[in-house]
Every structure is written in C-alpha cells, then in structure tokens.
Amino acid sequence: MQNLFKQIKATINGTIISFVASGLILIMAAILIVWTDFFLRLVIGLFVIVVAYMFFYLAFKTWQFKKAIEKYLKL
C-alpha cells in the first residue's frame, strides 16, 4: 500500500510539472504577442499544441494511475 501512495505522489508531481512548464511557455508566448501579428498567429498555434499536449499527458498519467491501482488492489 505504501508503494501505491508513492505512485500517486509521483503522478501528481509529474502533472504539476507539466502544467508549470506549459504555463511558462504560454507566458513567453504572451509576451511575444505584443509585437506583431505573426507572433499572434504563432502563439495561437502554440496554445493549441500545448493544450493538446496537456490532454494527452493527462490521459497518459490517468492510465498509469489506473494501472497502479489495479496492480496494488489486484483488480
């Protein structure tokens, strides 16, 4: 059961790190928006890619979490 809590903690920490990295990318992109229309289009595209990445990453981490629970609870 102790390993289950370590797995939960690692999963949550990985998700937090992913969101922080995505947030930093979006902040840098927001600063670039101010200058030109090209950067605005670039940032909108980057925003869509970052959101898609977050959804894929969240789905992967949820799947890993489900597998860990099944492993430790023998479901």
Residue 75 confidence class, pLDDT cut points 50, 70, 90:
low
Domain count along the chain: 1
Residue 22 confidence class, pLDDT cut points 50, 70, 90:
confident
- Residue 1: what pLDDT? 61
- Residue 14: what pLDDT? 80
**Domain containing 15: what range?**
2-73
Distances (CA, A) of 33 to 19, 24, 27, 55: 21, 14, 10, 24
Region 12-40: mean pLDDT is: 77
Report how far residue 75's alpha carbon sits from residue 14's, in angstroms, rounded to the nearest whole number.
Answer: 25
Q: By percentage, how much of the chain surpasses pLDDT 90?
A: 0
Asked whether residue 6 carries a pLDDT value surpassing 70, the answer given is yes
Q: Report the C-alpha dihedral over residues 11, 14, 15, 18, rounded to 10 degrees.
A: -160
